[in-house]
Amino acid sequence: MKKVFLCLVCVGLILKISAQELQHTQVSMPKHEVYAGLGLLNDNQVIAMVADIIGTIFTGGYLVQPHEYQAFTPFVGYRYWFTKRFSLGAIFAYDVNSVKVYNGTDPNNHWRIVNRYYMTFAVEPKFSYVSKSAFQLYGYLGLGATVVSFADATFEDGSKAEITSLPYINAHFTPIGMRFGKEFGGFVEFGYGYKGIINAGVSYRF
């Protein structure tokens, strides 16, 4: 009887210590994360460039001509960690590029440069395959909307014309991402969408 009682006491102590350790881990685990980075060749830039090239080919370069495109997309975001493996975040990304469009109505301005501004807002649920204090291996699928504005169409003489904005659904898929560091850290991600094929940046967890 004494042995049974001692065993129960030992089991109770082990369970109590384990619960205290788990509670301490949950309390000490950072819940918030802010981050900023750059993405290489995102979908907005690639689609715009390909469409402009196709337009140039089909019109013989008389109606449309490619102009300027950006290789890198800056983005910022916030993430809340519900557990050490699952979090939900929100991001904002910004892009700009331009195309030359023939302006046949004005003999003094044969071309106008149409500047396109992209603002992307998205939600990103993230799952960590590996979650250590100084290293995380993860993946996520982001879904949101991009608003492209043609509000600054500049003619060759410097005058401008107002054009409306257009929203559309956009997404980003990252099967592999890695973060290094504890509170302050850096990350690199591989995927494709509104961020780019390779994304890198810094983050702070608190």
Per-residue pLDDT of the chain (206 residues; tens, 9 = 90+): 544 444 444 445 434 444 454 454 455 678 999 999 999 999 999 999 999 999 999 999 989 999 999 999 999 999 999 999 999 999 999 999 999 988 776 666 678 888 999 999 999 999 999 999 999 999 999 999 999 998 656 655 556 666 678 999 999 999 999 999 999 999 999 999 999 999 999 999 99
Instruction: Kindly give the pairing relationship between strand 135-155 and strand 64-68.
Output: unpaired
**Tokens 């939900």 appear where?**
88
| Amino acid letter, 19 | A
CATH 2.40.160.20 fits 31-205, yes or no: yes
| Amino acid letter, 9 | V
Tokens at 50, concatenated: 């390909």
| Pair 118, 164: CB distance under 8 Å | no
Domain boundaries, the chain: 1-29, 31-205
Predicted structure pTM score: 0.80
| Pair 136, 128: CB distance under 8 Å | yes
| DSSP symbol at 182 | S
